[in-house]
């Protein structure tokens, strides 16, 4: 008698559950969905912060959360744990994306990287100049970097809403530009928005890096083994005065892009493990413990087949897209509109500076710089990408959101200026997404007409 039930003999509830989970898994990997979740989280924060329950919104994020071991206790607000600890995971994914692009993507070849690098630089310089032109006061000018950032998930998510009629190289170009933009943003945070360096933290950060390198040297492939060295690096950077979330970028850049060294090829290891598993399972009365060894070898072979940078990034992507970033938006997008006094000194200039720099400065900087380097003959437009496509990329790059809000919180200590900057980011991201989507629809229709 066949002891293994076929699919037809499974309970109907189990079959329906399998289909539901399979659909959910595919749904979570649709890039547009993560952008929608981000918008929903920001909308909830805005509504909550401007509702009669506004006090509970602010009280929640200021609630202390403590971690202790024996007599040692580390207590910080929930806001700190989200912005300084959880955002480290976001920056880890950013670091790994940069590492992959440097190895096999748009940053692997100098000629191929020239156009997105130049476009990204133009998309940083022009918005910064527009903001500085509208803000002369030294306190206001600290926000010059707020409109220079692009939100990768949000921008790529909006582009995904345009469907398959948009050429694949437009998406690749936008992704490359946004990643280079993130590199610039990380450098800006490290150089301009970190406190004075406390050198006592450098040895601690150095120990964390040495621990990571040591684990890599002896061939430890499990991501969990790197949590403790990562925590040491995080604490060291916090001690130095740099933003601790930058530890994620450092770890991401250190993640190997090639599979680890093994005594035998992972495919051979997997083949032997499957043969051993089949042989043991064929026993008329197999003991469950007999299957543990080949299953463990099979899991190890599966892990070693994929480069760590790809494996860890894929594992973390759903957590970052549907956990870390929505939480960050929920904790930081709650601008109290009644609490923003635009008539106060500098507030209106800051809001308008951010709004105009993102919506107008970003696309202008990207399009003009791209045209200039192509005109000079330094590079060419990617196949299938027209100047109208560059326009779509420039408009969507004006969606600053996550990174722009993050920089605003580092730039402004004055609560009113911070709220004005956040409001400018939210309005600009909404405007850039709307205009980019509208222009993208026209661009897509033109492409469809030209193909028929």
- Tell me the per-residue pLDDT of 95-136, one tens digit each, with 9 for 90 and over: 888 788 777 766 667 777 788 889 999 999 999 999 999 998
The DSSP call for residue 5 is P
**In terms of pLDDT, which residue wins out, 183 or 433?**
433
Say if residue 338 is in the same domain as residue 289.
no
Name the percent of the chain lying above pLDDT 90. 26
Say if residue 393 is in the same domain as residue 368.
yes
Q: Which of 251, 272, 305 is the last residue of a domain?
A: 305
DSSP calls for 375-418? HTTS--PPTT--HHHHHHHHHHTT--HHHHHHHHHHH--SHHHH
Name the percent of the chain lying above pLDDT 70. 82
pLDDT given for residue 391 in this prediction: 93
pLDDT given for residue 126 in this prediction: 96
Say if residue 300 is in the same domain as residue 331.
no
pLDDT given for residue 3 in this prediction: 46
- Which two tokens mark 155? 């921008």
Query: Does 90 fall in a domain?
Result: no
Say if residue 180 is in the same domain as residue 293.
no
Say if residue 119 is in the same domain as residue 175.
yes
Which structural domain, as residue segments, surrounds residue 273? 260-305
For the segment 53-72, the average pLDDT, to the nearest whole number, is 86
What is d(CA 134, CA 132) in angstroms, rounded to the nearest whole number? 5
Say if residue 323 is in the same domain as residue 447.
yes
Say if residue 179 is in the same domain as residue 116.
yes
- What rounded mean pLDDT belongs to the chain? 82
Q: Which of 245, 278, 305 is the last residue of a domain?
A: 305
Say if residue 301 is in the same domain as residue 323.
no
For the segment 172-195, the average pLDDT, to the nearest whole number, is 82
For the chain, how many structural domains are there in total? 2
Say if residue 427 is in the same domain as residue 350.
yes
Residues 6+ apart with CB under 8 A from 167: 384, 385, 389, 447
| Sign of the dihedral through C-alpha 43, 49, 51, 57 | positive
| pLDDT of residue 371 exceeding 80 | yes
Query: Does 11 fall in a domain?
Result: no
- Tell me the per-residue pLDDT of 331-342, one tens digit each, with 9 for 90 and over: 888 877 776 777
The enclosing domain of 344 has a CATH number of: 1.20.1530.10
Query: Does 226 fall in a domain?
Result: no
Say if residue 293 is in the same domain as residue 330.
no
Say if residue 426 is in the same domain as residue 374.
yes
pTM of the model: 0.75
Query: Does 227 fall in a domain?
Result: no
Say if residue 287 is in the same domain as residue 378.
no
Query: Does 30 fall in a domain?
Result: no
């Amino acid at each position: 008698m066949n002891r293994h039930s076929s699919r037809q003999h499974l309970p109907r509830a189990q079959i329906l559950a399998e289909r539901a989970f399979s659909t959910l898994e595919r749904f979570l990997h649709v890039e547009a969905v993560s952008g929608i979740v981000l918008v929903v989280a920001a909308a909830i924060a805005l509504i909550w912060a401007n509702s009669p329950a506004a006090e509970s919104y602010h009280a929640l994020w200021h609630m202390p959360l403590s971690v202790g071991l024996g007599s040692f206790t580390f207590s910080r607000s929930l806001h700190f744990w989200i912005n300084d600890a959880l955002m480290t995971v976001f920056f880890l994914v950013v670091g790994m994306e940069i590492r992959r692009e440097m190895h096999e993507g748009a940053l692997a070849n100098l000629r191929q990287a020239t156009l997105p690098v130049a476009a990204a630089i133009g998309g940083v310089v022009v918005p910064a100049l527009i903001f500085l032109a509208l803000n002369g006061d030294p306190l206001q000018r600290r926000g010059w970097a707020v409109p220079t950032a692009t939100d990768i998930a949000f921008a790529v998510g909006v582009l995904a809403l345009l469907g398959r009629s948009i050429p694949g190289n437009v998406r690749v170009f936008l992704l490359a530009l946004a990643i280079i933009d993130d590199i610039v943003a990380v450098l800006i945070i490290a150089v301009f928005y970190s406190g004075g360096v406390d050198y006592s933290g450098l040895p601690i950060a150095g120990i964390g890096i040495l621990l990571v390198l040591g684990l890599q040297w002896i061939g430890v492939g499990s991501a969990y083994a790197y949590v403790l060295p990562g925590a040491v690096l995080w604490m060291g950077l916090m001690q130095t005065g740099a933003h601790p979330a930058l530890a994620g970028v450092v770890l991401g850049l250190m993640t190997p892009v090639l599979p680890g060294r093994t005594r035998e090829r992972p495919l051979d290891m997997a083949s032997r493990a499957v043969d051993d598993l089949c042989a043991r399972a064929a026993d008329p009365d197999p003991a469950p413990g007999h299957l543990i060894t080949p299953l463990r070898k099979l899991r190890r072979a599966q892990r070693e087949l994929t480069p760590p940078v790809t494996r860890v990034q894929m594992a973390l992507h759903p957590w970052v897209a549907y956990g870390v970033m929505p939480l960050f938006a929920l904790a930081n997008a709650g601008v109290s509109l009644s609490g923003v006094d635009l008539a106060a000194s500098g507030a209106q200039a800051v809001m308008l500076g951010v709004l105009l720099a993102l919506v107008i400065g970003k696309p202008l900087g990207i399009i003009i710089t791209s045209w200039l380097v192509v005109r000079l003959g330094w590079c060419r437009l990617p196949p299938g990408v027209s100047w109208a496509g560059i326009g779509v990329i420039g408009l969507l790059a004006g969606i600053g959101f996550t990174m722009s809000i993050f920089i605003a919180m580092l730039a402004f200590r004055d609560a009113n200026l911070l709220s004005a900057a956040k409001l400018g980011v939210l309005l600009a991201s909404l405007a850039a997404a709307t205009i980019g989507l509208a222009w993208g629809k026209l661009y897509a229709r033109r492409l469809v007409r030209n193909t028929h």
